[in-house]
Amino acid sequence: MQEVVIAGYLRTAQSRCRPNDPGRDWFHQLRADELLAKVLPELIKRSGVAPEEIDDFIVGSATGVGEQWTYGGRTPIFLANLPNTIAAKFVDQQCGSAMAGIHIGFMEIATGNAEVVMVGGMEHMTRVPMGGTTQDRGLVSYNTDLFLNPAYRHWEMMTATNMGLTAEKLFAMSGLKKEDMDRWAVRSHQRAAQAQAAGFFDDEILPVDAPQADGSVMSVKRDQAVRGETSLEDLAKLKPAFKKDGVITAGVSSPLNAAGTGLMLMSKSFAKKKGVKPLATIRSISFVGVDPTIMGHGPVPASLKALERAGLKASEIDFWEINEAFAIVALNCIKELGLDPEKVNVMGGGLAIGHPLGATGNRLVGTLARILNAKGGRYGCANACVGGGQGVATIIEREEY
C-alpha cells in the first residue's frame, strides 16, 4: 500500500443561490462546470505537478443532470483545456460526492494503480435546483413505487427525500433544544466571519470574475452566505421551514450555494520525488449506510469506522470538520461521539460558509488540512451526512515532510 497525501486544495468562493431570484446569486451567469474549470489549472499549478502527470480526474456533484452532466467527467477537462490523457469519471454520492472522489482517488493511489489523482466537486443550486423542481421538470424521476407501493412503505420516502424532515426527526431523537441549534448557527457565522476577516480563506479561494445582473463584473473572492452580524434574536424569529410545528428553520439549515472545488492527491513517494510539500496524509476513509429518515446521523457511525481503521480514539483528533447540512447534524455528532465543541468547525461550518452539495467534500477535507497546518494540529477528521441515508468520513494526519 502506498501512502496518499493531499498535495493541493483550491476552490472558488461559495455564492449564495436563489433559484427564485437568480440575480442575487453572484455566480448566476456562470455554470458549475465553468467555475470548476477555472479552479483546475490553478490547482495543478499550485500543486507542483505537470498536467500530463495526472492519471485520473474524479468529479462529484449531487445533481448530475442538466448542465451538470459531464460526459463521464470529461467536459471540465475540456473546458479547462487540460491534456486529453487525463482519465475521468463522474461520481454521485449526493452530499458525499466529492469526498467519494477523494476516497476513490485514495484507493487508486494506495493500490498502486495511480500516482496522481485530481478530485473535483461542483454544484450550482441556482442553475440546477435540488429537489422538487428537478422532478417537476423530469430531470430526476424517482420510481414512484417507492412512494406508493405498500411493499416500500417502511422506507418513509416522503421523509427520506426531504432533508428538512430528516433533520426534524433527528432533532426529535437527539434530546437537544432548539436554542442549541440557533446558538450553533450564530457561532458558525461568527467563526466564519472572523476567519474571513483574518484572511484565512484567501489562500484556498481563487477569485473569479463574475458578470452580475446589473451588467457589472464582480471579482468574487469571499463566501457570499456568511453573516457575521446574525444574532440569536434574529434566528429565534424565523419560522419553521419544513413543517408547521417543526423546529428546523432556514437559519439552522445550510444555505443553497454554488461553487467549484478541487483537491490534488498523490502518492507520498511521488510528492517526495517532485519536491512537493503536502498539506496532509490520508490515514483512513469510511462510508456507511444509515436509516434514510435520519440521514443526519450518518457521520456518527462513519467517524467511528474511520477512527477504528486509523487505530485512533475520538479524543485523539485535534480538529473536526463536520458538515453543517443542518446545525443538528453537527450537534448530534458532538453529542454522540463526546467531542469537545471547541475542536469542531473552528473556522465556521456549512451553515455560514455554505454547502454546495456534491462539491462540499473537497471543502471539508481541504479546509481541515489547512486548519491542521495553521493551528499545528496532527490528526483531523472530516465527515458529512448524505441524503438517502449515508455517512462519509476521512481522517488525515499532518506530518513533517
Partner 1 sequence: MKTDYRTVQIELKDGVATLRMDNPPVNQMSEHFILELQEATRQALAETEVKVVILTGVGKNFVAGADVTQLLTVKQAAPFVQKLMAVHEWFNAIEQGGKPVIAAINGNCLGGGLEMAMACHYRVAAAGVSLGLPEVKLGLIPGSAGTQRLPRLIGLPNAMDLMLSGKFIKAEKAWSYGLVDELSPPEKLMDTALAAAEKFKRGQLSHKTRIASRRFDRLPSASEKKNQIAFIKAQTAPKAKGYPAPLAIIEAVEKGLTTDFLADIAREAQLFGQLLVGEVAKNLISTFLNERAAGRLPRIKDLTPAKPRKVAMLGGGVMGSGIVHLLLAGGFDAVLWEINDQAVDKALAAIKKTFAYQIKTKKLTPEKLDALLAAKLRTTTDLAELKDVDLVIEAVLENMKVKQDIWKKLEGVCRPEVIFGTNTSALPITEMASVLADPGRMIGLHFFNPAERMPLLEIICAKQTSDQTLATSVDFGRAIKKVPVVVNDGPGFYVSRQLGGLMGGSVFLLADGVSGEAIEKAMMADFGMPMGPATLADLTGIDINYHVNQTFARELGPRYAVHPLTEAIYQLGDYGRKTGRGYFDYSGPKPVPNPRVAAVVADYLKRHNVAPRQASSQEIIDLMLGLAINEAALMMEEGICDRPADMDLAMIMGTGFPPYRGGILRYADRWGLKNVYQTLVALEAKYGPRFAPAKLIKDMAESGRTFYQDR
Instruction: Indicate which residues carry an active-site annotation.
Output: 95, 355, 385
Phi/psi of residue 358, nearest 5 degrees = -65, -15
Containing H/E element for 233? helix 232-236
Q: How far is the CB of 187 from partner 1 (least distance, A)?
A: 33
Give the residue, chosen from 136, 203, 308, 340, that forms a contact with partner 1 under the rule CB under 8 A.
Answer: 136
CA 64 to centroid of chain Cα atoms: 15
Q: How far is the CB of 33 from partner 1 (least distance, A)?
A: 9
Q: Which stretch binds partner 1 (CB under 8 A): 24-32, 166-174, 224-232, 274-282?
A: 24-32
By C-beta, is 34 or 108 nearer to partner 1?
34
By C-beta, is 84 or 144 nearer to partner 1?
144
149 binds partner 1 per the rule CB under 8 A = no
137 binds partner 1 per the rule CB under 8 A = yes
Contacts of residue 134, defined as CB under 8 A and 6 or more positions apart, other chains included, come to 63, 65, 66, 128, 140
Q: Closest by alpha carbon to 26, among 246, 338, 35, 139?
A: 35
Beta carbons of 279 and 7 less than 8 angstroms apart: yes
How far is residue 386 from each of residues 129, 338, 344, 400, measured CA to CA in Å? 17, 21, 19, 33
Q: How far is the CB of 114 from partner 1 (least distance, A)?
A: 32
Give the residue, chosen from 1, 20, 233, 311, that forms a contact with partner 1 under the rule CB under 8 A.
Answer: 20
What string of DSSP letters covers 81-141? T--TT-EEEEE-BTBTHHHHHHHHHHHHHHTTS-SEEEEEEEEETTTS--THHHHHTTSS-
211 binds partner 1 per the rule CB under 8 A = yes
Q: How far is the CB of 339 from partner 1 (least distance, A)?
A: 39
Q: Tell me which residues in 257-296 interact with partner 1 (CB under 8 A).
A: none
Q: Tell me which residues in 29-58 interact with partner 1 (CB under 8 A).
A: 29-31, 34
Residue 355's SS3 state is coil
Give the residue, chosen from 3, 22, 69, 241, that forms a contact with partner 1 under the rule CB under 8 A.
Answer: 22
Give the residue, chosen from 66, 228, 289, 388, that forms a contact with partner 1 under the rule CB under 8 A.
Answer: 66
Hey, CA dihedral for 87, 6, 371, 381, is it positive or negative?
positive
Containing H/E element for 217? strand 217-220
Residue 167 carries which side chain, given as an amino acid letter?
Answer: A
Give the residue, chosen from 53, 67, 156, 336, that forms a contact with partner 1 under the rule CB under 8 A.
Answer: 67
Give the residue, chosen from 173, 213, 232, 236, that forms a contact with partner 1 under the rule CB under 8 A.
Answer: 213
Contacts of residue 69, defined as CB under 8 A and 6 or more positions apart, other chains included, come to none
Q: Tell me which residues in 71-130 interact with partner 1 (CB under 8 A).
A: 126-129
207 binds partner 1 per the rule CB under 8 A = no
243 binds partner 1 per the rule CB under 8 A = no
Q: How far is the CB of 287 from partner 1 (least distance, A)?
A: 30
Whole-number Å distance between alpha carbons of 320 and 36: 26
Q: How far is the CB of 144 from partner 1 (least distance, A)?
A: 10
Whole-number Å distance between alpha carbons of 114 and 175: 46
Binding site for partner 1 (CB under 8 A): 19-23, 28-31, 34, 66-67, 126-129, 132-133, 136-138, 211, 213
